[in-house]
Amino acid sequence: MNKDSKIYVAGHHGLVGSAIWNNLLQRGYTNLVGRTHSELDLTDQLAVRRFFDDERPDAVVLAAAFVGGIMANSLYRADFIMMNMKIQCNVISEAYAHGVKKLLFLGSTCIYPKNAPQPMKEDCLLTSPLEYTNEEYAIAKIAGLKMCESYNLQYGTNYIAVMPTNLYGPNDNFHLENSHVMPAMMRKIYLAKLIHDSNWNAITTDMNKRPVEGVSGSSSHDEILTVLGKYGVYDNKVVLWGTGTPLREFLWSEDMADASVHVLLNVNFADIIGIEKYSSVHFGASTDGAVDRNHSAGRGGAIPQLGEIRNCHINVGTGKELTIRDLSELVVKAVGFEGEVEFDSSKPDGTMRKLIDVTKLHSLGWTHKVEIDDGVNRLFEWYQNSLA
C-alpha cells in the first residue's frame, strides 16, 4: 500500500483501534476513514453495505468488537456471540464484495483451549475445549479468523488475522461493570485510596466521568459507597475476584498497534503459509485493484498440492507472564495505595495460565517494546489525565 491508500479502521475510538489510527498517521498514512458506533452500526448489514459503497476503502482494519471481562462474558453470553458474529460477517463480506485489497482482523488469545500446552502455539487451536466463562466470545473470534483463512483459500484474498494477548493502554475501558482485569483493578484500588483519604472531590469527578450502575458523582455518599462495595471497593480495602494465582500476559496497546500496522503493511497470506511467490492467480488483487472471483475457480476451497492449510493467524504478545497477584502489587505501587488487597477465592479465576508463543511474530520481524512495570505506570498516568 502507498501513503495515499484509503484505510478504514473499524473501532477507531477503541483501545486498539485508536492506537492503530495514531500509528498509521505517524507513518504518514493520512487517508484514514473511521465511524463511531452512532454513525455506523456494524451489526446493521445494510448500513455496512452503504458505507462500503460510499467509501470504497483499499484496506480494512477490523478492530471493532463487543468486549468485556469475566463478569460481562458470564452475564451477556448471547450478546457476545451474536454481536461479534454480526460485526465480523458484515465487514468481511462487504470488504470482499467491494474488492478490498488487504484486511486485518483482530481477535483474541481466548480462542485457545482452556488446557492448551503452554506457551500456546497457533496450531493448538481447536484441539480441546475452551474456557467456559468466555466461550461465546472465543467462538465468535475463531469464526472470524476462519473467515479470513477461508476467503483467502477460496477467493485468493489477502486477509490476515492477528490474535493479541491481554491488552491495556490509552483509551482503556475503566467502567467497572464490563472492564478487563487491569483497568478494573486499577480503578478499584484508586477509588479505595480516595475513600480512605476522604477525597470526595476526586471521587465525584471519577464517578461523573464513569458512572457505575447509574450512580454518578451527583449521587449521595452512601449511594456511591454502596455501589462501589458491590464491586469490592471499600475504605482502604479492595476485594478482587479469584485466588490471584492465574498467570497472565499483558501487551501495551500501542505495541499492539505497531505490530498490527507492521503486519498490515509488510505481511501477506503467502508469507504466513510459507510460500515464497504467488501470482495474482493465487493470492491478492487483480491489476485493477478488484479481487478476481474467477481465479480460484475449481480449487474447491483449497490448494491440493499444499495439503491442509489452517492456523494461519498470528499470535501477538510479549511471551512473558506474571500472576494476577503480582499485577495487583504493580498497580498498588503505581497508585500509591497503602491499604489491603484481598482475593475472594469463591469467585472464578478463569483460565489458570494463558501465555502465547510469539515465535511466528518474531520471524515476521516484530517484537514488543514496553515492559509491564513501565506500562502499568503509563496506564495510571493516562487514567488520571482522563479525569482532568
Give the three cell numbers for residue 207.
Answer: 464517578
Beta-bridged to residue 366, according to DSSP, are: none
Q: How far is CA 167 from the centre of its chain?
A: 7
> One of 137, 159, 190, 234 is an active-site residue; which one?
137
Assess contact for 47 and 40: CB atoms under 8 A.
yes
Assess contact for 137 and 73: CB atoms under 8 A.
yes
* Residues 163, 87: Cα–Cα separation, whole Å: 17
Assess contact for 210 and 174: CB atoms under 8 A.
yes
Q: Which residue has the cell 467456559?
A: 132
* Residues 355, 360: Cα–Cα separation, whole Å: 14
Assess contact for 4 and 57: CB atoms under 8 A.
no
Burial of 363 (0-12, 13-18, 19+ CB in 10 A): exposed
Cα(first)–Cα(last) distance of the chain, in Å? Answer: 39
Q: Catalytic: 137? A: yes
Q: Which amino acid appears at position 110 of this protein? A: C
With H, G, I as helix, E, B as strand and everything else as coil, classify residue 106.
strand
Assess contact for 231 and 176: CB atoms under 8 A.
yes
With H, G, I as helix, E, B as strand and everything else as coil, classify residue 11.
coil
* ∠ Cα 298 304 310 (to 5°): 110
Catalytic residues: 137
